Amino acid sequence: MTKLSNGNVRICRGVTLVPREDGKWRVRINIPGQGPGGRHSKDYPGKPSAVAAGQAWKVKIERDGTKAAVQIIHDHRSARFEEFANTWLQEYELHGIKPTTRYGHTLNVNNHLNPEFGQRQIATIAPAEVRAWIEAKRKTLSDGTVKNIKGTLSLVFDAAIEAKLVSFNPTSTITLKSRVQKVEDLEDEEVRPFSVEEQGRILASADKIYPSIHYGTMLRIAFQTGMRKGELLALKFEDFDLEHATVNITKTFSRGALGTPKTGKKRTVALGCPVSIKSKEWRPQTDVARDIVKRIRAINRISGFLFGLTPDKPANASNYEIHWRRVLTDAKVTYREPKTSRHTMAAVLLSRGAEPLFVRKQGGWQSDQMITRVYGHWLDEGEKIRLGKVGVGASVQL
């Protein structure tokens, strides 16, 4: 190796190491007499790995000749999308993303991207065809699903740019504009919380059908706190402060693995909110809190996963939904997804005048905009109550 006056390091003729300002090192290949076809570069996290790569190029050139080196460069540029995307899946953010996020990327690559682009050379995929393909997807898939697929595709191309396979990301100029929906579609998406009477029938059916696994206790916690399904499954006895009727939500269980809550933040929520009983109150009530604490203690588990088959193993997410469907059928309640328990908590408390900040913290939503957009109707009802409580509502025409 020869250190040059400009700071570069020459491994041999045609192979040079270039230090970058960000601390990385670039291995620059310029095979003599081969023009653009003999040029290639790749960045490495530090000098040792760059030296190792440079030495490997030197051995290849000296042992197999310049034609073999040029062929490697050509093959690298001609990489098929499927090969690169599958490698990206294995290497992308090994410890930095949640299992559910990785699972989503895997589904997008296997079910959508590889079937369409898998056999193509990644460098030949043009923005126009990506745009046309995305528009075709929008005819059969929701905007949210298409947005996720586009996000995965964009990440794959970002990695391809870093690997010097392509020079641009064909998704970068594509913006998904919201579609004007039909009235029927908007009605289908409308939040439909459970009434107090429906909640009573659901809880009674849960107690009757699944007493051994305390499914009714789990649903009471879901209604009172607005916890997500994965957060309920991940609950441990140690997370509860039964003296103060609160619970710390620090994790979620999904795709067979524990992770952080959806927002990435821990939160403490109150037990005892009178969501499932007829009341004008929204604040946690002593009698409701006392009842749920009694039920938690009746599980007779002093540590480990509260609703797991064993203290060491959380309950299965699929079984949760099977139980949910059976309970609603027995209770003769129109089927709604398990997340409706979250909607119910928010809608009931807001309509009774609860502070939006309390509801947002209870359910773990990131912004007030989410509360306003989804629960605006119940928020307006609660606003009238709050104004009335301070002596304004009686005289103000709303």
Instruction: State the pLDDT confidence band at 178, using cuts at 50, 70 and 90.
Output: low
User: Would you state the pLDDT for residue 390?
Assistant: 41
Amino acid at 331: A
CA dist 338 and 260 (Å) reads: 20
**Contact at 8 Å (CB) between 29 and 69?**
yes
Tell how far CA 246 is from the center of its chain: 26
User: Would you state the pLDDT for residue 79?
Assistant: 79
Percent of the chain with pLDDT over 90: 58
Amino acid at 387: L
User: Would you state the pLDDT for residue 389?
Assistant: 53
Cβ neighbours for 285, distance < 8 A, ≥ 6 positions apart: 272, 273, 274, 279
User: Would you state the pLDDT for residue 395?
Assistant: 28
| CA distances in angstroms from 251 to 64, 127, 189, 236, 315, listed in the order given | 54, 40, 28, 10, 14
CA dist 348 and 377 (Å) reads: 11
Instruction: State the pLDDT confidence band at 384, using cuts at 50, 70 and 90.
Output: confident
CA dist 264 and 347 (Å) reads: 24
Which of 1-5, 55-59, 164-168, 202-206 shows the lowest per-residue confidence on average (mean pLDDT)?
164-168
Please name which of 269, 268, 278 lies closest in space to residue 352, comparing C-alpha atoms.
Answer: 278
User: Would you state the pLDDT for residue 64?
Assistant: 82
User: Would you state the pLDDT for residue 95?
Assistant: 62
Q: What is the average pLDDT value for the chain, to the nearest integer?
A: 88
- Both tokens of 265, joined, read 């933040």
User: Would you state the pLDDT for residue 76?
Assistant: 64
Instruction: State the pLDDT confidence band at 189, using cuts at 50, 70 and 90.
Output: low
- Both tokens of 12, joined, read 């041999």
Query: pLDDT of 233-255, one tens digit each?
Result: 999 999 999 999 999 999 999 87
Query: pLDDT of 102-143, one tens digit each?
Result: 889 999 999 999 999 998 888 888 898 999 999 999 989 988
User: Would you state the pLDDT for residue 179?
Assistant: 56
Q: Indicate the pTM of the whole model.
A: 0.62
Instruction: State the pLDDT confidence band at 78, using cuts at 50, 70 and 90.
Output: low
Cβ neighbours for 87, distance < 8 A, ≥ 6 positions apart: none
Which residue pairs from 264-270 have beta carbons closer than 8 angstroms and sit at least 24 positions apart in sequence? 265/364, 267/361, 267/364, 269/225, 269/226, 269/227, 269/361, 269/362, 269/364, 270/224, 270/225, 270/245, 270/246, 270/362
